[in-house]
Amino acid sequence: MTNESIIKEASEHLPGGVNSPVRAFKAVGGKPISLVRGKGSKVWDADGREYIDFLCSWGPLILGHAHPEVVREAREVMEQGLSFGLTNPHEVRLAKIVTAKVPSIQKVRFVNSGTEATMSAVRLARGVTGRKLVVKFDGCYHGHYDSLLVSAGSGVATFGIPGTPGIPDEIASLTLVLPFNDIEAVKEAFSRHGEEIACVIVEPVAGNMGVVPPREGFLEFLREITRKNGSILIFDEVITGFRLSSGGAQQYFKVEPDITCLGKVLGGGMPVGAYGGSNEIMSRVAPEGEVYQAGTLSGNPVAMACGARTLEILMEEHPYATLDSKTAELTDGISSILKEKGIPHSINRVGSMFTLFFTGRKVTNYEDAKSSDTELFSRFFNALLKQGVLIPPSQFEAWFLSTAHTDEDVSSALERIGDAVREI
């Protein structure tokens, strides 16, 4: 089958031909592709075209595609059974790694996605505090849970969707949306609603309006004001967990939340999410406590084993400094190419994740991100695709590097990006 035939048939059976909106390429135009194979830093589409991959399945594949040890682990576990519905040793193995490495987590509950993790974390925060209001930040995406889809980034930003269709006003009104990196706005919200705020949920490094790092002191302030007001601080580390360091963004920035949400790298390419915190907070989760949450496939042995082996390799090899320097080389090279052509741009990078914004404005929040030239990004994306470089089909997403990306990959990518820029 070809890209065209697969996409055509998919459109007959799936809404928009996809199972996640951004995959339809609506924001960038052109024809979507269907990927059929991945190995290391490369992927191949149904037409047999090879791409250097900086999408990395939207972040999980920090070891690259089809890492032999992770694949071997999956095969061995699958031969023993795909699912049991009861406790298995692989979830214990993964839990021990998480609680050992993530500073704020003493106990963890595994789920099947980042959305499940954030949804459950908010429910837990409300259960612990007995309060209703949730504070989130404009452009931060925390999954498609009703209370958190208000003014979200990611696909919502890509498509310009208001964020609340299908969500009753009564639910949306329980979420206070503030500008990211704005300490004064947070102060104002707590002065008005402090006794009603159950939690503040934040991406410590925003990754769904494009990569936007926290301003100096912002995370520390959130820690201070939530503690002062008896609210729960939730870090959504679905993207940053095990991506920025072995202990995630909270280790990287030295700020510990009350509850942490994890996903992506945690599953090594399999569908896994998690939320965790102190023994005291997690003791409120059923069956120890009264805050209910459950899942038939939570703790699936194959997913747990893939996640555990991925994290074990990361702990053995500790590749973060190398990933950081290689990503810096790539972003510096991209910036040089664009400067030479006089193209306004801004690149935000933290570790091995970054976003190229087509704007001359420094991007510190969602309003800055939205100043990007999305039409130019669309032409850039399609020119890169022609050159065999795959990046996220949205201006408002992060690019990722993996340990499988070589110096040759970076050099080749920069050469192809240069050709693409000359074309546009």
pLDDT one-digit tens code per residue, 148-165: 877 654 444 433 445 567
Identify which has the larger pLDDT, 21 or 98: 98
Q: Say what the pLDDT of residue 185 is.
A: 96
Q: Say what the pLDDT of residue 163 is.
A: 59
Q: Which element (helix H / strand E) includes 50?
A: strand 50-53
Residues with Cβ within 8 Å of 325's Cβ and at least 6 positions away in sequence, in order, are: none
The amino acid that residue 150 corresponds to is: V
Q: Say what the pLDDT of residue 146 is.
A: 77
* CATH assignment of 68-317, among 3.30.110.40, 3.40.50.740, 3.40.640.10, 3.40.50.970: 3.40.640.10
Per-chain mean pLDDT for the chain: 95
Order across the sheet with 353-357: list the strands: 346-350, 353-357, 399-400
Q: Say what the pLDDT of residue 159 is.
A: 38
Q: What is the pLDDT of residues 248-287, one digit of tens each?
A: 999 999 999 999 999 999 999 999 999 999 999 999 999 9
Cα(115)–Cα(274) distance, integer angstroms: 10
Question: Does the pLDDT of residue 177 top 70, yes or no?
Answer: yes
Q: Say what the pLDDT of residue 418 is.
A: 98
Rg (C-alpha) for the chain, rounded Å, is 21
Long-range contacts of 155-163 (CB under 8 A, 24+ apart): 155/20, 155/21, 155/22, 155/394, 157/208, 157/209, 157/366, 157/369, 157/370, 157/394, 157/396, 158/21, 158/22, 158/26, 158/27, 158/394, 158/395, 158/396, 158/397, 159/21, 159/26, 159/27
For residue 169, name the pLDDT band (cuts at 50, 70, 90).
Answer: confident
Catalytically active residues are 141, 236, 264
Parts of the chain belonging to CATH 3.40.640.10:
68-317
Could you tell me which CATH class the domain 3-66+319-423 is placed in?
Answer: alpha beta
Q: Say what the pLDDT of residue 157 is.
A: 43
Cα(160)–Cα(154) distance, integer angstroms: 10
User: Would you say 249 and 205 are in contact if contact means Cβ atoms under 8 Å apart?
Assistant: yes
Q: What is the pLDDT of residues 131-144, one digit of tens each?
A: 999 999 999 999 88
In which residue are the tokens 């214990």 written? 92
Task: Provide the 3-class DSSP secondary structure of residue 239.
Answer: coil
pLDDT (average), residues 78-105: 98
Beta strands in 196-306 (DSSP E): 197-202, 232-237, 259-262, 273-277
Rounded to two decimals, the pTM is 0.95
pLDDT (average), residues 39-55: 98
Q: Which of 134, 135, 220, 230 is nearest to 185 (CA)?
A: 135
Cα(257)–Cα(124) distance, integer angstroms: 14
Output DSSP code: residue 212. Answer: B
Q: Say what the pLDDT of residue 164 is.
A: 61
Axis crossing angle, helix 301-317 with helix 68-78, rounded to the nearest 10 = 150
Parts of the chain belonging to CATH 3.90.1150.10:
3-66+319-423
Q: What is the pLDDT of residues 187-230, one digit of tens each?
A: 999 999 999 999 999 999 999 999 999 999 999 999 999 999 99
Q: Say what the pLDDT of residue 343 is.
A: 97
For residue 170, name the pLDDT band (cuts at 50, 70, 90).
Answer: confident
